[in-house]
Amino acid sequence: GGKIPNDMVWLLQAIESISGGFFLVKILFDDVAASWSRSIGIALSPLFILFIVGMTLDNLFKGLDDDARITLDLISISTSTLTWSSTYLAIAVGLTLTYKVQRYGNFAQSELFMMGMYLSMVMVWSDYFFPLYDAPRDGTLAWSLLLWTVLAAFVLTGIAGIIIDRLVYRGFRKKETKPQVMMIASLGVALILRAIVYLRFGAGKKMFEPDADWRVPTLRWDIPTQKLRLNLGNRDLEEGQTYTHGPTIGECTEIDGALQPEVSDSTPLFDLYNAANDCVTEATTGYAYYKGAMPLVIFSSVLLLLILLRKTRLGRRMRAVADNPDLAASSGINVESIQMTSAFLSAGISGMGGAIFAMTLRFAPETAFTLLLPSFAIIVLGTIGSVPGVIVGSLIVGFVRALSSPVLIAIGHPLGRSNYTALDGVMPYIFLIAILMILPEGIGAAYEKWKVDRLRRRAEEQPSKRWGGLLAISPLGALGAHNFQQRKNARGESMMIVSVGAYVFSRITRFIGGNSFADGSCSDDCQASESAATNFEMVTGRTEGDFILEDSPFSLSDVPDPPDGLDAWSHGQWLANALNDLNNSWLDLMNTELSLVDNLVSLGDALWPAVPLLVWIIAVIEGLYLLQGRDEDALRPATEFLYSLLAPVMQSRNSGSVAMTQALSSAKAPLDSFHTALYDSLDRFQSGFDRKGKYMLLAVLVIMLASALPPIFGKALVVLGLLWIVGLAVLAAFSGGEALGELRRLSPYGRESPIGSWVLFLSVMVFLLLFVEWLPVAESENHDFIKALQVSNVLTTLAVFALMAFALNLHTGITGMVNFGIIFFVGVGAITVGILTAPKDLHGYDWPVFWAVVAGVLLSAALGWLLAYPTARLRMDYFAIVTISLGEIVRVLLMGEPLLRAGSWGSSIGISRYKLPLKDWWFCGS
C-alpha cells in the first residue's frame, strides 16, 4: 500500500536472492552424499555464488528499469587481492600463533602492527639513517634502510611482545584465567599502547619512505591485463543507438585511417577486451614496487614460520604445547619458554608487517585497529589456530575486498547510493558470516577432514616405485615429486622448499641488483640514458669504484639553521662542520649500501641454479634406488658422516648447557630461600593481629590515603571506610564471630560470589555517587539546573551501559557464549526508534516514542531469535567474532545506506531530530 519504501522492498528481495544461493550451497555441503558430482559442485560453489550475485544485480536493475556497467580489471583485482591479503595476514598470523599456543584472542595484535609502523619512522628520523632518507631522488633505489627497518621492526616488536607477555599475560596464565578474561585484558593493553603512541607521535598522518625514489610513478611493474565489462539491467537500445565494444587487439575496425573499436546495435551481457584506446597497444596495469614489497615480505615470512613449525625442533615443541601444555611439560618441555617464543614471533611478524605497510599509505595511530576485525574474520574463516588456513583465508578475504570495491562503485550511483564505496570494508564480515553458516568450523577444519579422508584412501594403495624413480630422474625430482608420489611428504616438502626458496631468493636479489647500485646494474632510467651504462655511473659519472665525498647530493641549503647568538665566523664554521658531517654520514651509508647489495646479488647468483642442481642430483640417486627396488635412505651415508663431524661440537654444547644450568640453579637458590622467608614472615605478622588490631590498621590506612589524595578521593575513602567498618561491626554482632571470617564464609569466591558481587557493586556505586556529587559546574544563575542535567547525563549513561552489561551477562551466563555483538542489538533498537520518531517530512514516520520503543525491542528480539539458530552451532571463539562483526556491519551501513538516515533535508549521514521522551516536561520550568 505504499507504506514500505520501494528501496526497502528491492533491498530485501536482493538479500533474499543471494541468501538463497548460499542455502543451496549449504544443502550441497550438508545433505548430498559423497561423490564426484558433490566434489565438483563444492569446487564450483564460489563461481555459483558469483553467478547468483550477478544474476541478482541484473534482475534488480531490470526491475528498476535502469542499468549499471561494472568494469573489472583482472590484474588490478589480483594485485589488490595480494595487497589486502598480505596486510590482513600480517595481523592474522600473529593472532593465529597466539591462539594456537596460548589459547586466547589478542586484541592488542593490531597495536603491535602499529608499533612496527612507527618504528619505521623512528628509523628514518635517527641521526644515522636520516641522510639516506633526506637525500634527493637519483633514479636508483636504496635498499639498506628498508632492510634494516624490516629487521629492526621484527626484533624490537618481538621484544615488546615478550615484555607485554611477561608483565600481563603470564600472571593470567599462572592463575589459569579463562580465555575471555585474557581477551579483555588484551583490549586494555591495546588502549594503553595506542595512547602512548598518541602522546609521542601525535594524531597526524605519516608515511614511511626509505628512499625518495620509492615514490617515483615509473617504478612499477606494467602487467598486461584483461578487462571485463558487465552490462547489467536494461540492455535495450533505442532506435539509432549503438554499443561500442571495448578495444581488442586484432578485432578493431579501421575508420578514416584510424583503428576504432567494434560497434554493434545490441548491448551484450559482458564484454572482454585487452587493448588501450588506440586498439594497438596492449592494456597494462601498473603495480608500484612499494606496494609489491608488502605481499612479498609478509607471505615469505608466514611461509618461513610454517617451515619453522613443521620442520624444526622448536616448531615441534610449539605444536606440543599447543596440543596439550600439561603433557608437554611432563615431557620436559619448558612451557613458559615456548610461550615467550610464541609471543616474540607473533609480535615480530606483525611489527614487520606494520613497517612494510607504512610504505603503502599515510597512517595514524588508529589505522592499525581498523585492520583488526578483518584479521579476526580471516582466522575464523581459515579455522582458528591453522596457519595454512589463515593463508587461504587471507587470500579469500583479500579477493572479496578487492572485487567488491569496483562493483560497489559501479552500482552505487544508479541506485542513488554514492556512499556505497564505504561498504567494501564490510564485505569480508558478510562473507565470513555466510561461510560460517556453511562451514561452522572454518575452511581449515574442512581441509583437515578432507586430507584425513584422502590419506585413508591412499593408504590402501601401494605407490609404484618405477613411476617414483622416473619422477626423481625427471626435472620434477628437484621439487621432490617422487617423494610425494611415494608418500614421503616430509622429504618432498623439504626438497621443494630448498629448490623453490633458492629460485625465489635469486629472483629477489636479481630485482634488487637491477634497481640498486650493485656492480653492473642498470635500471629503466639508466637504460634510457645515453651517457651511462650502470646506475653507479648515472649518479657518479664514474664506471666503477666506491662513492666519494664529491658524490654527495647535499649542499648548505640542506643543513639546518645554526643556533642563535653566533658571530659571523662561528656561524659559517658551524654550517661547514654540519655539512661535512652530513656528507660523511651519507658517504658511509652509501658505501655500506653498495657492499650490501653486492653481497646479496652474489649470494643469489651462488644459490641459483647450484642449489636446485644439488637437490636434483640427490633426487636422481633416490630415483636409482627406487628403480633398483632398494628401500634404504640414499642420504643415510651423508647424514651419518655429517653427524660424526658434528658429534664433538654437540657434546661440548650439551656439557656447557648443563654447566650453565647448574650455575644458574646454585645462584637462584639463595633468592628462592629469601623469597620463602619473606612470605613466611609476612604470614606470621598477619596472623599476630587480633580483630581490634586489624580494624585499627584499616582505620590508619584510610586516614593516610585520605590525606595524600585529592579531596574527592579522600572523602570517598573516608565514607567507604566508615561504611565498611559499620558493616563489619554489624556482621560481627549478628554472627557472634570474627567479621572478616564470616564475610569470607558468605563469599568464598570473593567478588565472584553473590554476596561478594553485591558488596563490590555497592562500594563502586557509593564512590560513583560521591564523584558525581563532586563534579564541578560553572557558576551561573542556572547552576542547580545545569547540575541536574549533569547528574541526569551520568545516570542515563550508567543505565545504558548497565542494561548492555546485564544483557551480555544474561547471554554469557546461560549459554556460555561470549557475545561481543551486544552493540548490534543496541544499534538496531536505537536506529529503529530514531527513524520511526523522526518527522515525516525528514524521512521519518512521526511515531510516538513509546510505540517506537516497543517496535525497536521487538525487532531486536526477532533478529536475536533469527540469529540464534545459525550461530548457536559455532564454537565460542567463532561466535564472539561473528557477533562483533555484526556490530561493525551496522556501523558501516550507517555511513552508506540512505534507509538508515532520518532527520535532515539533505543526504547527511546519521539520524537526528528524533523525538525526546518527556522533553516538554523536563524543560517546562526552564
The C-alpha cell that represents 203 in the structure block: 594524531
Cβ neighbours of residue 721 under 8 Å, at least 6 residues apart?
698, 699, 702
Higher pLDDT, 749 or 859: 859
Task: Give the pLDDT confidence of 878-902 residue by residue, as tens digits.
Answer: 777 777 778 878 887 877 777 887 8
Looking at residue 841, what is its pLDDT? 80
Q: Is 549 left (phi over 0), alpha (psi -120 to 50) or beta?
A: alpha
* Entry pTM: 0.82
Higher pLDDT, 638 or 169: 169
Looking at residue 872, what is its pLDDT? 66
Instruction: Identify the three-state secondary structure at position 766.
Output: helix
Under DSSP, the state recorded for 282 is: B
Looking at residue 194, what is its pLDDT? 92
Under DSSP, the state recorded for 108 is: T
CA 685 to CA 697: how far, in whole Å? Answer: 13
Burial of 341 (0-12, 13-18, 19+ CB in 10 A): buried
Q: How confident is the model at residue 1 (pLDDT cuts 50, 70, 90)?
A: very low
- The answer to whether the CB of 117 falls within 8 A of the CB of 200 is no
Task: Give the pLDDT confidence of 450-463 residue by residue, as tens digits.
Answer: 777 766 766 667 77
Report H helices in 312-425: 313-323, 325-330, 335-357, 367-370, 372-381, 387-412
Task: Give the pLDDT confidence of 493-537 residue by residue, as tens digits.
Answer: 888 999 999 999 999 999 988 888 888 888 877 787 777 888 888
- The answer to whether the CB of 431 falls within 8 A of the CB of 397 is yes
Looking at residue 298, what is its pLDDT? 93
Task: Give the pLDDT confidence of 726-773 residue by residue, as tens digits.
Answer: 777 777 777 766 777 777 777 777 777 778 788 888 888 888 888 887
Compute the half-sphere exposure of residue 20: CA atoms within 13 Å on the CB side of its CA.
11
- The answer to whether the CB of 106 falls within 8 A of the CB of 98 is yes
CA 68 to CA 232: how far, in whole Å? Answer: 5
Looking at residue 690, what is its pLDDT? 44
Q: How confident is the model at residue 689 (pLDDT cuts 50, 70, 90)?
A: very low
Angle between helices 335-357 and 144-164 (to 10 degrees): 140
Under DSSP, the state recorded for 880 is: H
Cβ neighbours of residue 106 under 8 Å, at least 6 residues apart?
94, 95, 98, 99, 183, 186, 346
What are the DSSP calls for 613-675, one per residue?
A: HHHHHHHHHHHHHHHTT--S-TTHHHHHHHHHHHHHHHHHHHHHHHHHHHHHHHHHHHHHHHH
In Å, how far are 154, 305, 866 from 344, measured between CA atoms? 9, 12, 42
What percent of the chain clears pLDDT 90, i.e. is strictly above it?
A: 19
The C-alpha cell that represents 889 in the structure block: 556491519
Q: What is the mean pLDDT of the chain?
A: 82
Task: Give the pLDDT confidence of 276-321 residue by residue, as tens digits.
Answer: 888 888 889 999 999 999 999 999 999 999 899 888 888 888 888 8
Would you say residue 909 has pLDDT above 60? Answer: yes
Of 364, 381, 362, 365, the residue nearest 373 (C-alpha): 381
Q: How confident is the model at residue 34 (pLDDT cuts 50, 70, 90)?
A: confident
Task: Give the pLDDT confidence of 579-618 residue by residue, as tens digits.
Answer: 898 889 989 988 998 899 999 999 999 998 899 999 999 9
Would you say residue 847 has pLDDT above 70? Answer: yes
Higher pLDDT, 693 or 436: 436
- The answer to whether the CB of 94 falls within 8 A of the CB of 350 is yes
CA 441 to CA 100: how far, in whole Å? Answer: 15
Looking at residue 709, what is its pLDDT? 54
The C-alpha cell that represents 9 in the structure block: 522492498
In Å, how far are 331, 362, 640, 666 from 655, measured between CA atoms? 21, 53, 22, 17
